[in-house]
Amino acid sequence: MAVCSRRTGFFFALLLPVFLFLSLPPQAAEGMDSAISRYEAVRIPFYEEDGTLAAAVRRFQRDGEERLLILDPKRFAFREMSATRLSALRRADEAAWRQTPFSAALARQTAPPYPLQNDGLRRSELPVAGFFLTADLCPAKKPLDRGFLEATAALPLTAPIPVALPVTGLWIEKHPEDLAWIEAQVAAQRLTITWVNHSYTHFYDPDLPLEKNFLLRPHTDFRDEALRLERLLLEKGLLPSPFFRFPGLVSDQGLIEQLRELCLIPLGADAWLAKGEAPRPGSVILVHGNGNEPEGIRLLLAFYESRQASFARGETTLLPLRDAFLPQ
Ligand SMILES: [Zn+2]
C-alpha cells in the first residue's frame, strides 16, 4: 500500500502543473492578452447622457462581458463601452446619424467612381498647412524600421506627434517586440498612433492581375479580414480606428460598399514617396514601416530635413487623420 500511495503521490506531483495550466482562463495562459469572442458589426446610433450623438458599431464578448465599440462622429475615433450602459440611453434615428461629420465624410469617401487603385482619402478635404503621415505594416520578415519613428518623434513639433500605422494581423503576430516598442513610444508621449486597419492576411501574389489580387482574390472573406484585425488589436489592448487602407491600394465597388457598411473610411495616398510622388500641404504621405521599402524611408527623412525650419517655425506640421475632414 505504501508503495502504491507513494506512486499515486508521484503521479499527482507530475500532473499537478498540467491541471493548474488547464484550469487557467485563456487570457491568463496567453499572458497579458484578453480574449475576445463573438465579434460582430452592428450599427446602433444613440444619444449620450449629455445629448451628443454616437453609434455602437461593434459588439463582442470580453472576459465574459458584453462590450461595444462606440464611434465618436466628431472625433472620428472608437472607444470601448460596456453594453449594459447602452440600454439606459436614448436611441437616435438613422437620419440624424447620417448628418454627423463622420457619416458625411464616409459617404463622400465611398462615393463613385470606384477606381481600381487608390480609392478613398488621398489628400485633405480642407486646406491645411500640414501633412498626414501613414506608414504601412504589411506582413514582413524584417523588423520594424524604428529609425523613421525615432526621426518623427525628434521633429521640432508639439509632442505627441501623430502617425497613422496601417497594420496587418500577420505583422502583429510576428513582431511582438516591435509592437511593444511602439507602445513604449506612445506611453512616453513621444508619438500618438492611429491604428488603421490594413486587413489581417494582406494576400498578394506578384503573378496575378490586380483585378484578382490582394482583397480582390476570388473567395476572399473581406468582412472577416477587416473584423479579425480589429479583434486582434483589441485583444492586444490597442484601439482600432474607423479607417481602412486597402492592401496594394486595390479595391472595387463591392469592397467599398462593404467598407461603408462597416463604418470604415478608405485611406488612399497622393504622396507614395517611393513612387516619386512629392508631398504637398494636405497630402496623405505613404511609406512602408515594415523594412521592405527603404527608399521611401530615405525620402521621408530627406523631406523632414528640407522642412526642418518650417516645422520649427510652426508653419507646417504633421496632422491626425481627423483634421483632413474637419476644420480645427
Ligand atoms: Zn500593405
Q: Per-residue pLDDT tens for 83-134?
A: 999 999 999 999 999 999 999 999 999 999 999 999 999 999 999 999 999 9
For residue 243, the cross-strand partners are: 265
Q: How many whole angstroms from 49 Cα to the centroid of ligand 1?
A: 40
How does residue 34 score in pLDDT terms, banded at 50, 70 and 90? Answer: confident
Q: How many whole angstroms from 100 Cα to the centroid of ligand 1?
A: 30
Q: How many whole angstroms from 238 Cα to the centroid of ligand 1?
A: 20
Kindly state the cell numbers that stand for 140: 514582413
For residue 49, the cross-strand partners are: none
Q: How many whole angstroms from 237 Cα to the centroid of ligand 1?
A: 22
Q: How many whole angstroms from 319 Cα to the centroid of ligand 1?
A: 21
Q: What are the residue ranges spanned by the domains of the chain?
A: 36-98, 112-324
CA dist 328 to 59, 74, 94, 268, 320, Å? 31, 11, 26, 22, 11
Helices 146-153, 294-312: inter-axial angle, 10-degree rounding = 0
Listed in sequence order, the DSSP H helices in the chain are: 2-23, 26-29, 83-86, 94-98, 101-109, 146-153, 169-174, 176-187, 222-235, 253-261, 294-312
First to last CA, the chain: 82
Measure the CA–CA gap between 259 and 197, rounded to whole angstroms: 11
Q: How many whole angstroms from 222 Cα to the centroid of ligand 1?
A: 15
Q: How many whole angstroms from 322 Cα to the centroid of ligand 1?
A: 21
Q: How many whole angstroms from 213 Cα to the centroid of ligand 1?
A: 12
Cβ atoms of 133 and 289 within 8 Å: the answer is no
Reported as half-sphere exposure (CB side, CA atoms, 13 A), residue 206 has a value of 0
Protein fold of 112-324: TIM Barrel (3.20.20)
Name the residue with higher pLDDT: 226 or 64: 226
Kindly state the cell numbers that stand for 248: 496594394
Q: How many whole angstroms from 289 Cα to the centroid of ligand 1?
A: 10
Kindly state the cell numbers that stand for 157: 513639433
Asked if residue 23 has pLDDT above 90, the reply is no
Q: Which residues surround ligand 1, an ion (CB under 5 A)?
A: 136, 138, 247
Q: How many whole angstroms from 198 Cα to the centroid of ligand 1?
A: 7
Kindly state the cell numbers that stand for 3: 508503495
Q: What is the pLDDT of residues 281-295, one digit of tens each?
A: 999 999 999 999 999
Cβ atoms of 325 and 125 within 8 Å: the answer is yes
Measure the CA–CA gap between 309 and 239, rounded to whole angstroms: 34
Kindly state the cell numbers that stand for 300: 521621408
pTM value is: 0.89
For residue 81, the cross-strand partners are: 68
Q: How many whole angstroms from 250 Cα to the centroid of ligand 1?
A: 10
Q: What is the pLDDT of residues 244-302, one digit of tens each?
A: 999 999 999 999 999 999 999 999 999 999 999 999 999 999 999 999 999 999 999 99
